[in-house]
Amino acid sequence: MAVEKAKARGLDVEMVVVGDDVGVGRKKGGKVGRRGIAGTALVQKIAGALAATGAPLKDVYGVAKLSSENLVSVGASLSHVHVPGRTLEDPNAGEALSIEEVEIGMGIHNEPGYAKVKMALPELVTTMLKQLLDQSDKDRAFLKIAPEDEVVLLINNLGGVSPLELGGITAEVATQLDKDYEIKPVRVLSGTFMTSLNGLGFSITILKLVDTGLGQGRSMLELLDAPAEATGWQAAVSPETWSEKFRHNSVALDEEPPTEPTNLRVDRTYLQEVLASGLNRLIEAEPDITTYDTIAGDGDCGIGLRRGAESILKYLEKYKGTDDIVVALTDITRIVETSMDGTSGALYAIFLNALANGLRLQSPSSPSEVTPAIWGKGLKYSLNSLAKYTPARPGDRTLVDALDPFVETLIASDDPKKAADAARKGAENTKGMVASLGRTVYVGGEGWQGVPDPGAHGLSQFLTGLVEGLSR
């Protein structure tokens, strides 16, 4: 209607229909053809940038059509969108998906997709990329892309996906493109370009860059990179930035700089047994810790402690390392840093890094066994270091209520058993204690007064198990 209305007024116009959705195959599309989804935004950007240079309509139309012909997209969603003015139970809203299902090929107006599946993100992305790139699927093989081709990748938010989730999706798609297809996009766009209202899903678009024939400054990539002030347009991530991201994505344990050795020695087998005793006791206590944290916090303390304990145990099973206690402790601390989350994970990592340094400062001139006195001084150094990063002190209802009495008693008595008893008593004394720090500060109502601080209880259980291991 717009085309004919414009022509009737004497305007020179052309029409380009974008049909990039491979979720609708040739057979199903029939005469109607494929739907236009998020890839349309790339066509609009390229055509708009070229038009802004003053190019004639013939060239703008040609480039828009060329872009559309080298474009494929597919979407997936966890639910149908909520259309304003309709209830979620409205029969026109489509059949609801179960909590485990994802619908592939859903249209942006709640049109049904071609399949409902139960799969996690990596498998889902594998399925979607196959539909975009698999040449053996004659019904959907709309575009052939080889590793040597330059492409632009667009990950589009259908409206209800958080930026954090969209970032994870983008990384997964780019990783699989590289690993399974040897395709490295020259640009990556990730954001909200074409929504389906509050659709809880995303779409993947791949644009194959081909020669426009218009000369320098008017290639598809240059037109995509051209400045734009449209509120829905987000700048692309350059290939240089993307390759740096992957280069620094993760560092394996054995790739980190080696720890400088010391002369503090410990029997490796004995170290494994003692640590295993403490870690296993902590794992056994996880249900109680979780229960306490559900009442007095946000419920994840026990899970975080267990995850860290299990990761260290797994490391110890294969431990063939040095008998240098500082080197061993540094390796264990790295595991804590990567496996334990939350505030407690950060506090443990700070404490253990400081403990390694506190022990290092006491390294003798020749190899010697580490003694309780050396441990005591190292722990005191670590406790003082931790105090620089948290205001938590005894009486604040935190893990410090177990840690502080353990360290002070060990220094005063050189007796690990007495120190563990002091830690257990300190944790027990947090019952009814008004919290000054931690999640308990925000917890209202009743119930928390009857349980100990989860972090203090967990630490006391670990220290008790540790001491039990010493006496075996």
Q: What are phi and psi of 192, to 5 degrees?
A: -105, 100
- Opening angle at CA 166, ends 163 and 168, nearest 5: 115
- Both tokens of residue 316? 């110890």
Max distance between CA atoms of the chain, in angstroms, equals 99
- Opening angle at CA 54, ends 48 and 58, nearest 5: 75
> On the CB side of 374, how many CA atoms lie within 13 Å of its CA?
18
From the CA atom positions of the chain, what is the Rg in Å? 30
CB atoms within 10 A of CB 159: 18
CB 303 within 8 A of CB 345: no
Residue 109 designated active-site: yes
CB atoms within 10 A of CB 162: 10
- Both tokens of residue 437? 């720090």
Picking from 34, 52, 16, 45, the residue whose alpha carbon sits closest to that of residue 191 is 45
d(CA 322, CA 147): 45
Instruction: Tell me the CA distances in angstroms from 5 to 1, 18, 192, one per residue in order.
Output: 6, 21, 32
Q: Strand pairing partners for 153?
A: 188, 206
d(CA 8, CA 381): 85
Q: Which of 82, 109, 248, 457 is catalytic?
A: 109
Residue 214 gets the label, from left (phi > 0), alpha (psi -120 to 50) or beta, of alpha
d(CA 131, CA 148): 20
The residues that are catalytic are 109
